[in-house]
Amino acid sequence: MELSCNAWTGAGKVTGEAQDPAYWALQRPLESGPKLLVAREMNLRDWRDPKVGWGVVLAENATIPTPIKNLIAARKAAVFRYLTGSPYEFILLRNYDAGKDIDLTAAPRGMAPEALPFYLLIVGSPDEVPWRLQYILSANRCVGRLPLTGKGLENYVNALLADQWPAAAPLNPNRAVIWAVDHGEGDITHLMRNAIAAPLADELHGDDQLGAGTLFLDGSQQQTHVEHLHSALRSQQPGLIVTTSHGMTAPLNDPGAMALQLGLPVDSARQPLSPQQLLNAWQPGGAIWYAHACCSAGGDRESHFTDLFSRDSPIGRVLAAVATVGGQTAPLAIHLLGAENPLRAFIGHVEPTFDWTLQQRATGQFLTASLIDALYGYLYVKKGDVECPVGYAFREWYLTTNGFRAQYNINLRQFNSGQDTENILLALQLAARDIESTVILGDPTVAMPGLT
């Protein structure tokens, strides 16, 4: 039996004929050594695992509200500070307890002093801790934001600490309500209905456990007034709510009035949903709400898209008017998360969303598969005994930006060499920005309860 070894003598390969290989092998049993433990599979859904972890991010000089202190103590959380105004404000977070500055993107995951937890809760308004930091963190962590104060903050944290939402509004996780406004072909609501609401409804209706409890208020088949949504939520008490519609951005000439209704879903009669009237009819009771609409999660003082449109164009005027409101969280999310029986999580957009980000122009294919997976394929599936946190459910949605950015860099080089890739560059940039500005409001560890 000839064997070859990977020695090199300068004179060709080194081989040798094994002499009585069985005798050699049998007379030389392997020495007993320490047994290696099989590496434990890390379950990234389990925020309690110290190699995964949960932490809080606040502005550098912000006072920690009492409910958040209680939450930090109960979860033994790591506390990080946003370095307001520092040249490193979008590079590092400061952990004063550990005496370390932690890199936002390359730090190891977990609860060790040099690590950054996989689950992070930003506490504060976008004026205190900007949306941009949340965008960066969401690229490789599961991030939520709690912009509440006073009684609303107390309501939410109390529900979170008890790990159950008040029973006054009983939640049924096997029920879902999808409300899709559709103003017909040529309007973006028609595309949102087709790319998001209808495919999700198909998935839920096809599920043996969820199908009978899924109510699709389809704007292509019927009027979808806010009263219809009120009635559906009150009767169904759903675990999941998904709405697709225009988001309110008016009046353009009155920033104060706009702030009070920024991003509110607008129905088929072009009336905005009133948070207070909704709460008079229904209490969230721990539901999870995804709203695909312009500014459904809030607005920023500086839009990604300002330089894309003429200031005199309809979109340009909207962008300029929203910027005058400054960094803020949308009022619907504030009301629902801070309600007496609060919402678990609200997911929406800080910026406008565009038709090019929902559909591939070259083929007509919808670009929302990862979003449907987040709302159905992940949110409703346990891994062992661990339910899927909402932050983890949206991981693949955020990760699609990596592909868009890689494609962008390739097409940018082609553009610089004289090829006509201008429209491709625009579509890729829009899609990446759209996904980036999808934000989770509420704690990223909350999950759909009571799944079997």
- What proportions of the chain, in percent to the nearest 5, are helix, strand and coil? 35, 20, 45
132/439 Cα distance (integer angstroms): 11
Residue pLDDT tens, the chain, 452 long: 566 556 555 565 656 766 666 555 555 454 455 545 555 567 899 999 999 999 999 999 999 999 999 999 999 999 999 999 999 999 999 999 999 999 999 999 999 999 999 999 999 999 999 999 999 999 999 999 999 999 999 999 999 998 767 665 678 999 999 999 999 998 999 999 999 999 999 999 999 999 999 999 999 999 999 999 999 999 999 999 999 999 999 999 999 999 999 999 999 999 999 999 999 999 999 999 999 999 999 999 988 888 888 888 888 888 899 999 999 999 999 999 999 999 999 999 998 888 988 999 899 999 999 999 999 999 998 766 778 999 999 999 999 988 988 998 999 999 999 999 999 988 888 888 899 999 999 999 999 987 65
Which residues, at least 6 apart from 134, have a Cβ–Cβ distance to it below 8 Å? 122, 143, 145, 439
237/241 Cα distance (integer angstroms): 10
Q: DSSP per residue over 276-342, as a string?
A: HHHHHH---TT-EEEEESTTSSEE-SS-TTGGGS-TTSHHHHHHHHHHHH-SEE-HHHHHHHTSSS-
236/85 Cα distance (integer angstroms): 47
Tokens 């995964």, located at residue:
52
> What pLDDT, on the 0 to 100 scale, is given for residue 40?
57
208/382 Cα distance (integer angstroms): 16
pTM score, two decimals?
0.90
* CB 180, CB 221: distance < 8 Å: no
For 234-270, give one letter per residue: b (16+ CB within 10 A) or e.
Answer: eebbbbbbbbbbbbbbeeeeebeebbebbbbbbbbee
Q: Are strands 92-95 and 100-103 parallel, antiparallel or unpaired?
A: antiparallel
Sequence length of the chain is 452
Q: What angle do CA 176, 182, 185 make, to 5 degrees?
A: 140
241/229 Cα distance (integer angstroms): 10
CA 82 to chain centre: 20
* CB 352, CB 319: distance < 8 Å: yes
Q: Can you give the residue ranges of every domain in the chain?
A: 54-147, 156-441
Q: Is the dihedral of CA 66, 70, 72, 73 positive or negative?
A: positive
HSE of 319 in the Cβ direction (CA atoms, 13 Å)? 19
> What pLDDT, on the 0 to 100 scale, is given for residue 178?
98
Phi and psi at residue 81, to the nearest 5°: -120, 135
Report CA dihedral (180, 183, 184, 188) to the nearest 10 degrees.
-80
User: Looking at this protein, which amino acid is placed at residue 206?
Assistant: G
User: Which H/E stretch holds residue 171?
Assistant: none
E strand spans, 147-225: 172-180, 214-218
E strand spans, 130-207: 142-146, 172-180
